[in-house]
Amino acid sequence: MVRAAALPLAAALLIAGSISQATAQPGANAATVRFLASRGAVGDWSSYVAAELGYFKDEGIDFQPANLERPGDIATALISGRGDIATSSLPLVIAAALAGAPMKLISATQKATPQGGYDNWWATLPGSPITKPADLRGRKVHIYSQNSLAQAVTREILAKAGVGIGEYQEVAMGFAQSYTALEGGLLDVALFIEPFYSRSNELSQSKYGAPLRVIYTYLTDFPEGLDLSGMIVNTDFAAKNPDTVRRFLRANTRAAKWGNSHPQELKKVIANYTGVPYDDIKNMIPAEMSEDGRFFSGMLDRLQGLMIKYKMIPNFTAPLPERAFVDLSYLPAR
């Protein structure tokens, strides 16, 4: 995610006090969709493909994308009505539901599967003495951010390896610093997403004669696969424009099928819409995209269990019913 699976939850919690005044303000054109994403994010690509290949045009959608500088800004913009639909992390939506925010998941997007090749990788330099999670006792471990899926999964994997909370140091930092932090000794194991993973492997191979050594991934804890992020709607917008939301998702699921089948062409589309140079992503592993928008069976229950177990949100002690933060009724029928 992964970028989309590891966003901080603070944004949703801080704005809880002003939610009652927040309403969506859709444009005069009922088919206009103001879409929010994180600047430079290359994983949630289906909407860019739908725009590039004319799928939104086919559905009568006026697609108006905006890339925000900080991922946490997405929640604030969506709740305040400055956006209609966004891609972001799953924990963020659960936190927003607890705060009473007008946001719900309407589709799964990025995913990782055993056969797909894409994941989020915790890795060391090739000469490191660390070869397995149990070796991380007393080490500096990258979690991307506090209250993130990356933090929860790290705690779960290390606990199963006999390394408890407090027996290692959790370090929060961005993905762009992962490789340099390893070389500088700021991290003993770093979390990589694409395109940083492929580029860092190239650097490691050139300098050390071997690629990075992977210690664990999300699939270590979710061996059958998991959803890394999702499509989120402002529920006020959805209530006023249900057919627009359906058409938007119909174009996205069509785009997901094309992108999954055309990985090389996909990279050029991603570069065009994210502002990331094509040369920086031409060798990356593209994220898989859900082709039907459904979440893995049990994924959201398991996620809530981890959030509760590791106290990611104050006073979150029992799982929410999925209807509190998920509405898949806008997806195309299977």
Residue with the larger pLDDT of the pair 188 and 20: 188
Tokens read off for 127: 């000469």
> Is the pLDDT at 29 greater than 70, yes or no?
no
Other CB atoms within a 10 A radius of the CB of residue 205 amount to: 13
Just give the CATH number of 10-113+226-324. Answer: 3.40.190.10
Fold: same for 10-113+226-324 and 121-221: yes
Each domain of the chain, given as residue ranges in start order, spans 10-113+226-324, 121-221
In angstroms, what CA-CA distances link 17 with 77, 99, 237? 15, 8, 20
> Is the pLDDT at 20 greater than 50, yes or no?
no
* Residue percentage of the chain with pLDDT more than 90: 79
> Is the pLDDT at 49 greater than 90, yes or no?
yes
Position 190 confidence tier, pLDDT thresholds 50, 70, 90: very high
Position 38 confidence tier, pLDDT thresholds 50, 70, 90: confident
> Is the pLDDT at 246 greater than 90, yes or no?
yes
pLDDT (mean) for 79-87:
95
Going through 99-168 in order, the beta strands assigned E by DSSP cover 103-108, 110-112, 121-124, 140-142
CATH architecture label of 121-221: 3-Layer(aba) Sandwich (3.40)
> Is the pLDDT at 220 greater than 90, yes or no?
yes
User: How far apart (Å, rounded) are the C-alpha atoms in residues 88 and 67?
Assistant: 12
* pLDDT tens, position by position, 254-277: 999 999 999 999 999 999 988 889
Report which residue type is found at 195. P
pLDDT (mean) for 69-88:
89
> Is the pLDDT at 19 greater than 90, yes or no?
no
> Is the pLDDT at 3 greater than 70, yes or no?
no
pLDDT (mean) for 194-215:
97
Residue 10 is predicted with a pLDDT of 44
Position 30 confidence tier, pLDDT thresholds 50, 70, 90: very low
Residue 134 is predicted with a pLDDT of 98
Residue 4 is predicted with a pLDDT of 38
* pLDDT tens, position by position, 115-167: 999 999 999 999 999 999 999 999 999 998 888 889 999 999 999 999 999 99
* Residue percentage of the chain with pLDDT more than 70: 90
pLDDT (mean) for 76-91:
93
Residue 79 is predicted with a pLDDT of 92
Residue 303 is predicted with a pLDDT of 95
